[in-house]
């Protein structure tokens, strides 16, 4: 088989027996309970949803939805009517950034916002909330972690026609940090 044959071969994948889990959007109206989980990433996700709920008025959030069996973790409806996709990553490095961006694109391509939150506007923004940078993203560069610069430099070369994505760090003390420094 030649490379030409490989790249021009049409591949259709499908399994009639595959049944995806039911997708749901659950509105968060009261704090989520922390579990006995030993997975810090799952505990951080609960912390983020609780923070958003607690700071709802300050952050000008109208509604918060946690998504189940979906490619995104949540959806925020802002008071001005904008809809923001939410992805939560405990440790944010290059691979997790790529994963989150793909998750947002898949969510939009599959039209899941229409199915899960039909009264919302189409999301035009994505927000990745993370705890700390990892790998190369954690190295210092001019008194700042490289992750901020790497994320936005990469964003400049990507096709942002589907969704503009930003990152924000939720500190243990409850501060939200954006580039270039503390905001809330």
- How far from the centroid of its chain's Cα atoms is residue 159's Cα? 17
User: What pLDDT does residue 16 have?
Assistant: 58
Number of domains in the chain: 1
Query: In this model, does residue 141 exceed pLDDT 80?
Result: no
99 assigned to some structural domain: yes
Give the C-alpha separation, 59 to 55, whole Å: 6
Query: In this model, does residue 158 exceed pLDDT 80?
Result: no
User: What pLDDT does residue 184 have?
Assistant: 41
Supply the CATH number for residue 93's domain: 3.40.91
3 assigned to some structural domain: no
Contacts of 108 (CB under 8 A, 6+ apart): 85, 122, 123, 162, 163
148 assigned to some structural domain: yes
Residue with token string 């961006």: 101
90 assigned to some structural domain: yes
- Mean model confidence pLDDT for the chain: 86
15 assigned to some structural domain: no
3-state secondary structure of 30: coil
Q: What's the whole-number mean pLDDT along residues 108-132?
A: 88
Give the C-alpha separation, 176 to 183, whole Å: 6
Give the range of the structural domain holding residue 90, as residue numbers without chain letter. Answer: 21-182
1 assigned to some structural domain: no
Please provide residue 146's backbone torsions phi and psi, each rounded to the nearest 5 degrees. -60, -25
User: What pLDDT does residue 15 have?
Assistant: 58
47 assigned to some structural domain: yes
Which of 166, 95, 170, 103 lies closest to 132 in space, CA to CA? 170
Query: In this model, does residue 60 exceed pLDDT 80?
Result: yes
User: What pLDDT does residue 27 have?
Assistant: 93
Quick one: pLDDT band at residue 179, thresholds 50, 70, 90? Answer: confident
2 assigned to some structural domain: no
User: pLDDT by residue (tens digit) across 1-53?
Assistant: 788 788 888 777 665 555 667 888 999 999 998 887 789 999 999 999 999 99
Quick one: CA torsion of 174, 152, 87, 62, rounded to 10 degrees?
A: 70
User: What pLDDT does residue 127 have?
Assistant: 96
71-82 core/surface letters (b: 16 or more CB in 10 A; e: else): bbbbbbbeeeee
Tell me what percent of the residues of the chain surpass a pLDDT of 90: 47
Confidence (pTM): 0.86
Q: 23-27, 70-74, 94-98, 138-142: lowest mean pLDDT where?
A: 138-142
């Amino acid at each position: 088989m030649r490379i030409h044959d490989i790249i021009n071969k049409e591949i259709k994948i499908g399994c009639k027996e595959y049944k995806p889990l039911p997708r749901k959007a659950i509105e968060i109206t009261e704090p989520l309970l922390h579990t006995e989980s030993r997975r810090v990433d799952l505990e951080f996700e609960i912390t983020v949803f609780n923070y958003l709920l607690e700071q709802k008025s300050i952050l000008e959030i109208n509604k918060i939805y946690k998504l189940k069996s979906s490619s995104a973790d949540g959806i925020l409806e802002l008071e001005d009517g904008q809809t923001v996709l939410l992805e939560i990553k405990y440790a944010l490095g290059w691979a997790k950034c790529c994963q989150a961006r793909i998750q947002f694109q898949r969510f939009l391509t599959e039209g899941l916002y229409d199915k899960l939150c039909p009264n919302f506007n189409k999301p035009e923004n994505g927000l990745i909330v993370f705890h700390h940078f990892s790998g190369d993203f954690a190295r210092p560069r001019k008194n700042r972690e490289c992750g901020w610069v790497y994320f936005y430099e990469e964003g400049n070369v990507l096709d942002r026609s589907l969704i503009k994505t930003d990152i924000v760090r939720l500190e243990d003390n409850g501060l939200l940090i954006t580039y270039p420094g503390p905001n809330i």
